[in-house]
Amino acid sequence: MKLSSSRDIRPVSFRHWVLVAALTLLAGCATTFPEPDPGKPFADGLTAEELFARTMAAHGGDLRAYAGDLNQSTDGEWGRMVQRVQPLVADGGYRGQGEERYRPADQLYAVHYTGPEGTKTVVRQGRDIRLYYDGERSDDEDRIRATAMTTDAGKLFHYGPTFVKHRAESITRLEDRREDGVEYRRLLATIQPGFGKADEDQVVMWIHPETDLLYRVHITLTGFEPTRNAHVDTTFLEHEEVGPYTLPSRFEERVLGPIRLFVHEWWVTGRDRDRGWTDDDVRGPEFAGAAAHPAGE
């Protein structure tokens, strides 16, 4: 048997033990993903389909019917812990300020980020994805899987129920949930495909009882092995009108399980629409032509 020499023994840092202790404590506070109660009656008498139609209408209808383009600038702050626990998912060194270009009719969606470590560009259309770091195309499968997942989740966060409408295999009602004096209505949707390269994921939609707008979405993330058992929620703190649509403009994201921690807070800093940019303008690694200048300027 080989005995370890003193050179084989690595001291464990105090910061490491603090991280382990914090994660253990947070795991004890984690929540489980909600499940429906089939026998639960609802006082408002609305079916899941009727409630979903109301929230679609409150947001302005199906975005895929919009023939133009939507453009926005974002900024935000990442939690420190999540960058240690899930560095590829957060990718906080690159996902700082963002410029986003979206053409709903054909689902062409591109984001160019600038962070403290460099730039990141993502071009997503259907199941296809292009990924660039500092102007160089990446073929790293882990980065691609993580980015495909977070990019699809970003489309849900920024553009709401349209994302669910075109992927939902089933929608059922959950019992209402009270928070800060408001009794939110909730729907559970099973989406196929799921986020990124997942075959399937689940989305819980919290719907405000007076405005019918989305207040929160709670999702699974099965498309990337390190997040397969995780679920997170994003709360929409503010909304604004963008042409005929009502879209979220300020967001807060948290991991709820298997541990519980703050992930990300971000906000829209500028918006505009109908620039008429072309496919070539957004296919990376830099935005060009009509897509180039920051949104809202």
Domains of the chain: 45-291 (2.50.20.10)
Say what the pLDDT of residue 74 is. 98
Strands (E), 156-260: 168-179, 182-191, 201-207, 214-220, 231-242, 245-257
Q: Show the tokens assigned to 160.
A: 């709401």
pLDDT mean over 41-56: 93
pLDDT mean over 179-189: 97
Give the residue carrying structure tokens 């009719």.
Answer: 105
Q: What is the DSSP string of 34-91?
A: P---TT---TT---HHHHHHHHHHHTTS-GGG--S-EEEEEEEEE-HHHHHH-HHHH-
SS3 190: strand
pLDDT of residue 221 exceeding 90, the answer is: yes
- Residue 3's pLDDT band (boundaries 50, 70, 90)? very low
Say what the pLDDT of residue 39 is. 64
Say what the pLDDT of residue 270 is. 98
pLDDT of residue 45 exceeding 80, the answer is: yes
pLDDT mean over 241-266: 96
Q: Helical H runs in 96-220?
A: 141-159, 161-165
Instruction: Convert the pLDDT of each residue in 103-120 to its tens digit.
Output: 999 999 999 999 999 999
pLDDT of residue 9 exceeding 90, the answer is: no
- Residues 188 and 203: beta-carbon distance below 8 Å: yes
Say what the pLDDT of residue 29 is. 56
**Position 221: which residue type?**
L
Mean pLDDT computed over every residue of the chain: 90
Q: What is the DSSP string of 178-189?
A: EETTEEEEEEEE
Instruction: Convert the pLDDT of each residue in 120-136 to its tens digit.
Output: 999 999 999 999 999 99
Instruction: Convert the pLDDT of each residue in 129-161 to its tens digit.
Output: 999 999 999 999 999 999 999 999 999 999 999
Q: Percent of the chain, pLDDT > 90?
A: 85
